[in-house]
Structure 1
Amino acid sequence: MNNTTRSRWALVGIAAVAAVTLAGCSTPGSSGSGDGKELSIYIDSDPSSVALWDGLVAAYKQAEPDVTINVETHPSGSEGDNLIKTRLSTGDMNDMFWYNSGSLLKALTPDQTLTSLSDQPWASSLNANFVEAASTDNGLYGVPVGASFAGAMVYNKDVYAKLGLTVPKTWDEFMANNAVIKAAGITPVVQTYGDTWTSQLFVLGDFYNVSTADPQWADQYTAGEAKFADEPAVEGFQHLQDVHDAGYLNQDFASATYDDGVRMLAEGTAAQYPMLTSNVAQAVGANFPDADASIGVFPIPGTSADANGLTVWMPNGVYVPKTTEGAQLDSTKKFLSWLATPEACQVQASSITLGGPFVVDGCDLPANAASLVKDMQPYFDDGDTALALEFLSPIKGPSLEQITVEVGSGIRPAQDGAALYDEDVKKQAQQLGLDWK
């Protein structure tokens, strides 16, 4: 759920495949020789991406009038992934490119294909989660562009205030809150299985709790040793079963859509919705702006109040292929240094709807940031965040959303659902060539 997967999660349309160019004529693979006055960057063609880079290119032109940055686009998703891999392997990549951090970045074999940026002055200003997601053991390879987001419990603050509830830090406290909310005639937890992708958040958003309980879990999972059917990872599936079996869901959970869920939350007919903060910030801002102050967020609760934090997704990074050299490399690094400044963050904030805090020191949230995004900042400040599993492992089974719908609908017990997902991911691991038995 970085940029490639975000187009699915954020429900934004995909632009036409045809490449477009901003601020001049694009020259594919223009890295290498040159005087550094004309740079090129390769980005995905999602409309929000184009809008973001349009703003950044224009702002940098004002800061450095002698430098022109040409933007070339590629399709989102697997087609774009393949194009990037092809350009890197043939030495035909642009001076820089904007791409996922995390496991998809690792698939590009960055130690062989990219320029290390570990020695850049701005490297020490980056959030530790992004550094982990954009690095190998041999160095840091990217500078972030965009903001973070989280998989968490979005909630209606007015409902909580009316019922005298406090934000829960454990699953038992969460379920106790649900009992009070239901008694008041309000839906405690929205689920929207009419859009099956929304069913995954109890599992995906619980990964902070998994990684806190077992910091080596992601590595063991990638090696085929850790399983979702075992503790601590089975808890995400158990959460789905718990809220269903207790009768805490909206009656139309099987057919309700994501739009229905946001509406119920904004109107206060439902109290809580496990969801991605980027999605809700965008939807509330566009359709229910008057409700913004009423919408907050807290982590998916685990078993211990002492371990309470957000599962977070990192923004894309800008990377430099090893084919960028000489004056082109010097000019590119100067641009990357500018990207890691509050000035560049302000441009980003004015170009996109923020779904979470920035991951560069000194880049504060703007005053008009969504209320739920402001709720996230203390978790970042205190270090109470952990990367989502997809940043740490390339393995995600294709059937998760169908399995979580079954568990969340009472069709399949949590333990059986988790075991079925273990079989699902085994097939994907084998397709990736991993030595799983």
Structure 2
Amino acid sequence: MKTSHRMTGAALAVLAMAALTSCGSSSEPAADGTTTLKFLVDNSQATVDTAKALADAFMQANPTIKIETETRPGGSEGDNIVKTRLSTGDMSDVFWYNSGSLLQALNPSQTMVDLTGDPVLQHVQKDFLPVVSQDGKVYGVPAGTAMGGGILYNRKVYEQLKLEVPKTWADFMANNDKIKAAGIAPVIGTFKDTWTSQLFVLGDYYNVQAAVPSFAQDYTANKSKFAATPAARAGFDHLAEVHAKGYMQEGFGSATNDQGMKMLVEGKGAHYPMLSAQLPPLVATMPQAATDVGFFGIPGTDAAKNGATIWEPAGIYIPKTSENVDAAKKFLAFIASPAGAEATNKAVQPAGPFRITGAKLPEDAIQVAKDLQVYVDEGRTAPALEFVSPVKGPSLEQITVAVGSGLTPPAEGAAQYDKDVEKQAKQLGLAGW
């Protein structure tokens, strides 16, 4: 996030007026009895395909409601468009946007329709709700599926070497030893794309939360630090240990994410710390990616507490300025239902489980999504830290490249990251900073 969460007095005044004049109101249907909803989504192909599938299936079931989809850019440019349109009262009836900390920057309590206790949420899994909430009030439903952040692994390599999915970090390192002895790269590193270096740290959050349940809250309040919390520092230690033992392939510093995924699917590398969403686009050109690659959460110290970190789906929200709140709620209820999930499945290969009770993965779902579904069904997941704390520093990927390349000791890397988040926490005006 590059912008402040605080809004100007003028913007707030516009919002307050918009809320007073149109909160919960609904415009008259058109002469032919139809209501038109405008639906704003980001322009990534998966989002556009999902939005179209949802709109088409909904309109078929609700012929009196038309949905017109419009797109916006992704990234910080898209963030600014959403903020501007909300603050000027010019937002579409329904919009797709991040869940978690980026949502907090939109001041949902002032800009969005409160869905707390509404039948719209009847199928939404309870443990998803915190990432679309502010001050205990719920504002959105899940868009698409969750994805896992952990270890993608080649199942053929595991079969060939008779390895078991590890439940502890020590087991994982023992597997790496056997893989290296067999002449296969145990861990794939792709540090040319610096963002990919962060997964050992970000994907370890399930273990941090299991060891220190209050970490996100204390971290946000400047009471806890990565460097001073052994469970949180472990991600940096893991990066350093994998490098020190020579487990990464030759040339990991100049390898790209695309090259890493190809290596993994072809079995030239056994493990890749990565997000599961990287797999579905590969299935068209490398069909074996659907079956030969599996997923497991980054293992911690206790096999009995084994779990996985997930990146929650984005949310779909209704602004207070919509004049078609009833129709918009109908659309949200459809999106967050098994029928909505089924429509999504027909358009986009899911990278993970739905956050909708009763929604099923298709029979031909990729193995990674099936593996993640087990973690969700068994309640062994935690959202990544960025979904439960607004504090995220901009330089983590540079720090993790240096730690993972053996240039910076892990304790120093963790301390650098603690310093990196300070500026942003102050910019957000968080208490305790």
Same fold (TM over 0.5): yes
Matches within 5 A, 1:260-339: 260-283=259-282, 285-325=283-323, 328-339=324-335
Alignment correspondent of 1:253 = 252
Matches within 5 A, 1:83-98: 83-98=81-96
- The superposition leaves residues 257-285 of structure 1 with CA deviations (integer Å, 9 ceiling, x where unpaired) of 112211111111211110000113333x1
Identity across aligned pairs (percent)? 51
Contact 1:101 1:391 in 2 (8 A): yes
Q: Aligned partners of 2:65, 2:219: CA distance in 1, in Å?
A: 46
Contact 1:429 1:436 in 2 (8 A): no
Letter in 2 for 1:255: S
Alignment correspondent of 2:50 = 52
Matches within 5 A, 1:353-392: 353-392=349-388
Using the TM superposition, give the Cα deviation of residue 44 of structure 1 relative to its aligned residue in structure 2, in angstroms. Answer: 1.5
Alignment correspondent of 1:65 = 63
1:115 and 2:113 are equivalent in the alignment: yes
Alignment correspondent of 1:237 = 236
Q: Aligned partners of 1:57, 1:376: CA distance in 2, in Å?
A: 27
Using the TM superposition, give the Cα deviation of residue 125 of structure 1 relative to its aligned residue in structure 2, in angstroms. Answer: 2.4
Alignment correspondent of 1:132 = 130
1:350 and 2:334 are equivalent in the alignment: no
Alignment correspondent of 1:431 = 427
- The superposition leaves residues 7-54 of structure 1 with CA deviations (integer Å, 9 ceiling, x where unpaired) of xxxxxxxxxxxxxxxxxxxxxxxx852326111122122233222212
- The superposition leaves residues 201-260 of structure 1 with CA deviations (integer Å, 9 ceiling, x where unpaired) of 000000001111111111111111211112211000000001110111111111111122
Q: Aligned partners of 1:307, 1:296: CA distance in 2, in Å?
A: 20
Please point out which of 376, 385, 392 is paired with 1:396. 392
- The superposition leaves residues 316-359 of structure 1 with CA deviations (integer Å, 9 ceiling, x where unpaired) of 1111112235xx22111111111122221111112223110111
Task: Tell me: CA distance 1:46–1:293, structure 2 relative to 1, closer, same or farther (3 Å).
Answer: closer
Matches within 5 A, 1:49-198: 49-198=47-196
Matched residue of 2:165: which SS?
Answer: coil
Alignment correspondent of 2:4 = none
Letter in 1 for 2:365: A
Contact 1:191 1:249 in 2 (8 A): yes
Letter in 1 for 2:58: Y
Q: Aligned partners of 1:270, 1:79: CA distance in 2, in Å?
A: 36
Q: Aligned partners of 1:425, 1:157: CA distance in 2, in Å?
A: 38
Q: Aligned partners of 1:313, 1:291: CA distance in 2, in Å?
A: 21
Matched residue of 1:349: which SS?
Answer: helix
Using the TM superposition, give the Cα deviation of residue 435 of structure 1 relative to its aligned residue in structure 2, in angstroms. Answer: 4.6
Alignment correspondent of 1:27 = none
Using the TM superposition, give the Cα deviation of residue 430 of structure 1 relative to its aligned residue in structure 2, in angstroms. Answer: 2.0
Matched residue of 1:250: which SS?
Answer: coil
Matched residue of 1:287: which SS?
Answer: coil
Alignment correspondent of 1:26 = none
Alignment correspondent of 2:7 = none
Structure 2 unmatched runs, 5+: 2-24
Letter in 1 for 2:156: D
Q: Aligned partners of 2:426, 2:336: CA distance in 1, in Å?
A: 39
Contact 1:111 1:138 in 2 (8 A): no
Alignment correspondent of 2:209 = 211
Contact 2:131 2:388 in 1 (8 A): yes
Q: Aligned partners of 2:289, 2:107: CA distance in 1, in Å?
A: 45
Q: Aligned partners of 1:207, 1:366: CA distance in 2, in Å?
A: 29
Q: Aligned partners of 1:141, 1:232: CA distance in 2, in Å?
A: 32
Matched residue of 1:125: which SS?
Answer: coil
Alignment correspondent of 1:12 = none
Using the TM superposition, give the Cα deviation of residue 291 of structure 1 relative to its aligned residue in structure 2, in angstroms. Answer: 4.0
Matched residue of 1:93: which SS?
Answer: coil
Q: Aligned partners of 1:393, 1:117: CA distance in 2, in Å?
A: 22
Q: Aligned partners of 1:321, 1:390: CA distance in 2, in Å?
A: 23
Greater shift in the superposed pair: 140-149 or 80-89: 80-89
- The superposition leaves residues 145-203 of structure 1 with CA deviations (integer Å, 9 ceiling, x where unpaired) of 21100101010111111111111111111111111111111111111112111100000
Please point out which of 29, 41, 47 is paired with 2:39. 41
Structure 1 unmatched runs, 5+: 2-30
Q: Aligned partners of 2:280, 2:49: CA distance in 1, in Å?
A: 18
Contact 2:26 2:326 in 1 (8 A): no
Contact 1:146 1:315 in 2 (8 A): yes
Task: Tell me: CA distance 1:94–1:300, structure 2 relative to 1, closer, same or farther (3 Å).
Answer: same
Using the TM superposition, give the Cα deviation of residue 434 of structure 1 relative to its aligned residue in structure 2, in angstroms. Answer: 2.8
Please point out which of 407, 415, 419 is paired with 1:419. 415
1:407 and 2:403 are equivalent in the alignment: yes
Q: Aligned partners of 1:290, 1:422: CA distance in 2, in Å?
A: 41
Structure 1 vs Structure 2 CA RMSD: 1.9
Matched residue of 1:395: which SS?
Answer: coil
Letter in 2 for 1:314: E
Q: Aligned partners of 1:324, 1:90: CA distance in 2, in Å?
A: 13
TM-score between the two structures when normalised by the length of structure 1: 0.89
Letter in 2 for 1:277: S
